[in-house]
Amino acid sequence: MTHNNEQLLLDVRHLTKTYPDFQLKDVNVSLPAGTIMGFLGRNGAGKSTTMKAIMDLIKPDEGAIHILGMPMPEEEVAVKEQVGYVGDTPLLNNAWTMEQTLRFARQFYPNWNEEAVEQNLERFAIAKDKKISALSKGMKVKASLILATAHEPKLLLLDEPTSGLDPVVRTEVLEMLLDFVQDENRSVLFSSHITSDVEKIADWVTVLDDGHIVFSEDKESLLDRYRRIVIPGKSGQQATDSPLLFHCQATAGGYIGYTDRFQQFRKFATGNWHAERLTLEELFVLLTGRKEA
């Protein structure tokens, strides 16, 4: 992924981490300001490992990570003043109330925005005196988001925040993220295996599969580039020999293939065919070579 002359809030180079049964291989991610990057991948693809390595919650074997131009973990303290993180499970102390949690965290941040915290508590209807253990899963995610954004970070890292939430709560969380990037100096790296969430809010899509990056591209150009080509009738078999098509297969009514160079295909293709735009989910399944997301 390249971003010409843009200020990179996150720059991950050749990140590698090996576990006995899994390897994250040469992951490169760069995120300019004002961007929401959807970090897609099946469960176990390496999204959480990448996120944790970025936050220095785990030590990578190889690779370099720069956040706001500062190297991690060397500038860990300065970096973390500018970064918000929501883990794959809420990192909240169940024995505390929301008030205790906020009171504790605010002491670490010079740019803590109490007004924004109050607004968000009201927006999500979270009572400050309620114990964390009494909050539902959705409320805990919202509480984590409030905590992660209270110090007005430049970069927000969200590890599967909408996983397991009902559609109403997911929408509320996504709306909050969209509000967050209204300030164009901020960015979000948002990991998920729910492609519809990523499709709704992301500008950029990075797909991770089995520990390596499959592609990382601007969402719109990605969706513009790929098409499902439907060739009706049995006479269309010859068309499937085109080098611009892949994953061609016969169907009851003819043939289906896919192209990742639709503009080129359109120029040269002859005969009877039509193109269908793919959803991000269809594209994700197609490129990761599996049947379910």
Partner 1 sequence: MNVLMQRELEGELASDLKERIIYYAMYGTVLIVLTWLLGPRVLDWFSIMGMNRFVSVMAIIVVSSTINEKLKNDSSNRQMSFLQTLPVPKSQLVHAKFLHMLLMWAMAFVWLSAVTSVNLLLNGSWTFELWTHVWGFTSASLFIQAMALLCYFSKGYRGVQAVFYLSALAWAAIFIPLGLTLKETGLSKGELWGTALIAAFIICGISWRIAVRKVNARGIPEENRDDFVTDEVY
Chain contacts with partner 1 (rule: CB under 8 A): 19, 22, 24, 44-49, 52, 55-59, 76-81, 83, 85, 87-89, 91-95, 104-105, 107-109, 211
Minimal distance in Å, beta carbon 62 to partner 1? 15
- Distance in angstroms (rounded) separating the CA atoms of residues 41 and 212: 10
Tell me the residue type at 227.
R
Judged by beta carbon, residue 47 or residue 228, the one nearer partner 1 is 47
Residue 57 beta carbon to partner 1: minimum distance, rounded to whole angstroms:
6
Alpha carbons 149 and 112: distance in angstroms, whole number: 9
108 versus 268: smaller Cβ distance to partner 1: 108
Judged by CB, which is closer to partner 1: 64, or 91?
A: 91
Closest CA to 125 of 149, 104, 146: 146
Name the minimum Å distance from CB 103 to partner 1. Answer: 10
3-state SS, 47-70, equals: HHHHHHHHCCCCCCCEEEEEECCE
Burial 147-183 (b: 16+ CB within 10 A, else e): bbbbbbbbbbbbbbbbbebeeebbebbbebbeebbee
**Closer by beta carbon to partner 1, 38 or else 153:** 153
* CB 2 to partner 1: min, Å: 27
